[in-house]
Amino acid sequence: MAATADTLPGVSYVMPVLNEALYIETAITTVLAQDYAGEKELILALGPSTDGTDDIVDRLAAADPRISTVHNPETDIPVGLNLAIRASKHSIIVRVDAHSELEPGYTSRAIETLGRTKAANVGGIMHARGKTPFQTAAARGYNSRFGLGGARYHGSGEEGAAESAYLGVFRREVLEEVGYFDESIRRGEDWELNLRIRAAGHTVWFDPALKVTYWPRESWNKLARQFCATGIWRGELVRRYRGRNPWRFFVPPLLVLNVLASVILLVLQVTGVVSGWPSALASVVYFGPAAYILLVLWLAFVADRGAKPLDRWFFVVVLPTMHLSWGVGFIIGVLRGARGTVDTSRTEI
């Protein structure tokens, strides 16, 4: 018998929103256009936007009773998510990002996967895209296995149990069991929540058939601020959960330390402080940055033959920006903790 609205579980989409005038209407449209026969509602947690986002949301909400809002004056993503979840009514919670667009069959596939696997949370692939040469280059960084550390949801992989999930489609009772999102964590809240879900004996599942379009930050300044803040909070998570963090978290900070050591050695060699065989022996430190530069150039100009020339040159800037900003932030986070660090790429337009 085919599933009907009466037999399918209701779905509550929750979306934190702050200064998303360029993306919010499309994000909402793709949610409401889901080809899922069950009941649907969309709850947006509105931060204090300054770019007209709230006017767009108000217009769309007035035209569709499935849209409702809650206010999130603190602007923090986990706080907004928890407010939206508590204001929702259905048994399935679908996290949506205002910078994202859901494929039409996303919800139907996710519900099917939840039922088939008995998982507590399922997620799929973040497929980054760009509208400008810079944003397209940033999207290449997101989609590359070398860009964000090889997590399956940034590229591809076989379906199966996973460490974490992009966005996530959750069973409400599991979120209630583990206590929702940790509101003391401003970045990396998904990874931390999934850690607690798995620690409670539940399964987090990766399904590559689930695809979400993601639009990266539009400028170098925003991208650098975003990745620095993310790195700081990853460093905070390492402080809180020693031994439970994947090895890929430590690659960007090691690159930063290697670059710093290379700069110091170069200064000492040029000024004659270090010379002779000690200088030659110490020069092995240059291998890391040199290999990294060659990797970036190979990815920019050889690996993707379909990229446009301007996109390639932007990529040479974008990928090191992502890695070095993240790495510097990570070191700061490990040494002193996050201390309430805010991602200013969202609060400044």
Residue 272 is part of which domain span?
240-347
What percent of the chain has a predicted confidence (pLDDT) above 70? 95
Is the domain of 200 the same as that of 247? no
| Residue 1 pLDDT class (50, 70, 90 cuts) | very low
Examine the domain organization and report whether 169 and 311 are in the same domain.
no
Mean pLDDT of the chain: 92
Does some domain include residue 2? no
Residue 278 lies in a domain: yes
pLDDT digits (tens, 9 = 90+) for 5-33: 668 999 999 999 999 999 999 999 999 99
Residue 338 placed within a domain: yes
221/302 Cα distance (integer angstroms): 27
- Average pLDDT of 123-147? 91
The answer to whether the predicted template modeling score (pTM) of the entire model surpasses 0.85 is: yes
Among 181, 216, 251, residue at a domain's last position: 216
Q: Phi and psi of 232, rounded to 5°?
A: -60, -45
Q: Please, what's the largest Cα pairwise distance for the chain?
A: 82
Please tell me the distance from the alpha carbon of residue 36 to that of residue 39, in angstroms, as a whole number. Answer: 8
Considering the domain boundaries, does residue 150 fall inside one?
yes
246 and 206 share one domain: no
Average pLDDT over every residue of 27-51:
95
Q: Rounded to 5 degrees, what angle do the CA atoms 115, 77, 234 make?
A: 90
49 within a domain of the structure (yes/no): yes
Q: In the prediction, which pLDDT does 150 show?
A: 54
State whether 282 and 333 are in the same domain.
Answer: yes
Same domain membership, residue 156 and residue 51: yes
Judge whether residue 155 has pLDDT over 80.
Answer: no
Regarding whether 282 and 212 lie in a shared domain, the answer is no
Say whether pLDDT at 272 is over 80: yes
pLDDT tens string 330-348: 999 999 999 888 888 877 5
**pLDDT surpasses 90 at 294:** yes
Burial of 176 (0-12, 13-18, 19+ CB in 10 A): exposed
pLDDT tens profile 184-220: 999 899 999 999 999 999 999 999 999 999 999 999 9
Query: What helix, strand, coil percent values describe the chain, rounded to 5?
Result: 50, 15, 35
Residue pair 25/64 in contact (Cβ under 8 Å)? The answer is no
* Shared-domain flag, residues 86 and 193: yes
Distances (CA, A) of 177 to 163, 181, 190, 231, 297: 19, 11, 16, 29, 48
For residue 170, what is the domain's CATH number?
Answer: 3.90.550.10
Of 201, 216, 231, the residue at which a domain comes to its end is 216
Burial letters 104-129, b for 16+ CB under 10 A, else e: eebbbbbbebbeeeebbbbbbbbbbb
Residue 6 lies in a domain: no
From the list 101, 68, 66, the residue with the least C-alpha distance to 86 is 68
Judged against a pLDDT cut of 70, whether residue 2 lies above it is answered with no
In a domain, 70, yes or no: yes
Pairing mode of beta strands 92-95, 160-161:
unpaired
Residues 246 and 211 in one domain: no
The residue-averaged pLDDT of 248-258 equals 93
Beta strand ranges found along 47-102 (DSSP E): 67-71, 92-95, 100-102
158 and 50 share a domain?
A: yes
Please determine, for residue 122, whether its predicted confidence score (pLDDT) is greater than 50.
Answer: yes
Q: What are the pLDDT digits (tens) for 55-96? A: 999 999 999 999 999 999 988 999 999 999 999 999 999 999
Residues 195 and 128 in one domain: yes
Give CA–CA dist 89/92, Å, rounded: 9
Whether residues 210 and 279 fall in one domain: no
Same domain? 194 vs 307: no
Please give the residue that has the higher pLDDT: either 157 or 307.
307
Which residues have CB under 8 Å from 284's CB, separation 6+?
none
Residue 202 forms part of a structural domain: yes
**Residue 240 and residue 259: Cα distance in Å, rounded?**
27
Total tally of structural domains belonging to the chain: 2
* Main-chain dihedrals φ then ψ at residue 261, nearest 5 degrees: -65, -35
Domain final residue pick, 216, 231, 265: 216
